[in-house]
Amino acid sequence: MSILVGIRVTYSGLVSFGINLVSIITGLVFVIIVTRNLSAEEFGTWGLINGIIIYAAVINPIISYWITREVARGERPAKTSIFASSLITIPAIIIYLIVAFFTATESDADLNIILFAVILVPVMIFNETLTAINLGQKPQATSYGILAFELVKIPAVLLFIYFFKFGVEGAILASCIAYLTSICILAFYAKEQLRSHFQKEYLLKWIRLFWLPTYRHLPALLHLSDVVIFSIITGSVVGVAYYSAARSIGMLVNNVRAFSKGLYPKLLETRKQEFLEENLIKLFYFAFPLTAFSITFAKPGMFALNPIYLEAAPFVIFISIRMFLNTLNRMLFEAILGMETIDKNPRSTFRDYVKSKLFWYPTLDLIRHGIYIGVLAFLLFILSPKTESTLDLVLYWVVIYLAVEIPLSVYIIRLVKKSFTLKIDTKSMFKYLLASIGIFGLTGLIMEENLEYKNSIFEFFPSVLMFGIIGIVGYLCTTYLIDRRTKLLFKAIWNELVIKEK
């Protein structure tokens, strides 16, 4: 495997993926601490806060979207981006407060707690801007920020929730401190870029083209509005608690996206399609077992979070499959966007941008999420007064969540086949799929017969962890023995890790 010049896709992907594996553990520990110490209503409020805050973040892509593209092409807009981020913090806070007040008054969420979470808005904005700067020059540095965030939030949440009994406010404070730590790490790695001069040309360009990144962010805004829609229509945050708990287990496969973190800037830098082929195979190698892992450990995972969420274990299956498809779709979309060059031409007009892939992708995504939110809101409006069970409503929710993703997956795969000349090793891909089903299916059967469900997390979690390690090691050993590409991958991983970072 060749050693890449400039942005090293394999190295940055390995660092990102390795750190994301650590974040899986720390993330689960964080959620366990929160769910074990908060009631369903309180945990639902925490999930609602994460849904509301996306409305405040809708402004930041005006800056962060262009930063990555410009830095990856050798430009130096970092200092200008920090100044611009400080300017947009005020309107972002105002947006959050308006949405928070309306949502809290229409549901049973605690208004004071939701308003207190406004402290997360500025730290999230600066963290995203610094992440965008690093993504353009050294993608693995963004993962160092994630690692710092994950490692700090565990002792912080233990302090505020477990010892001080601060409740949801403790989770907010812990997240805020973790973001501040991440900001320090990201600023350190971006220090050379931050020594650049303020250039009003960049600011004027971002203002002139504000509509494109804002439009591109609308799908995410719609997507994460589901918790707000559910809370307002049902008038309760308990369903959000069940959904958030299931999602924390089902979204493990989402961490595979970190392996391709260097793909987007590398395509911006070189426009070579072969990087996509290699990253797709690596995605399947890790995404198949993580999806199988989430499904196999759905029941013990939900019990570990809190026994009250055990009934929501079947929801993990729908969310896991949806997350797998979404992970694949996002990689393919980013590959298409990485080949677009419309923004390199300073004479490009509004019409040129509208015709470009930079506009086409968010339009497609907006349609997809618009259908998702529209169908969800319609069914909840019709069924909520007639359904007494909150679990039934959440079931409808996750089924819609998956169903909307399937047509998009079919379409994007067909589109990529037309846009790229790819040679995918389907034989290896099916080996990974069968190995995942076989190993984790067997692990699930053994676990079902031998795992004892104890209420004490200190007794229960080590047993679950042991079965998890058995499944993961079994998959790695099996694929190493039956697949030549896996042997090459392991060798490439070793080679990349021993090469000094340039």
pLDDT in tens, 363-418: 888 888 899 999 999 999 999 998 889 999 999 999 999 999 999 888 888 877 77
Residue of 253, 252, 274 whose CA lies nearest to 263: 274
Token digits for 343?
């923004």
What DSSP line would sit under 255-303, residue for residue? GGGGGGTTHHHHHHHH--THHHHHHHHHHHHHHHHHHHHHHHTHHHHHH
Token digits for 96?
């959050």
Which parts of the chain have pLDDT scores under 50? 1-7, 9, 500-502
In angstroms, the CA 313 to CA 243 distance is 10
In angstroms, the CA 353 to CA 60 distance is 20
In angstroms, the CA 230 to CA 395 distance is 12
* pLDDT on residue 401: 93
Q: What is the pLDDT of residues 434-471, one digit of tens each?
A: 999 999 999 999 999 999 999 999 899 899 999 999 99
* pLDDT on residue 16: 64
The pTM (predicted TM-score) of the whole model is: 0.85
In angstroms, the CA 447 to CA 443 distance is 6
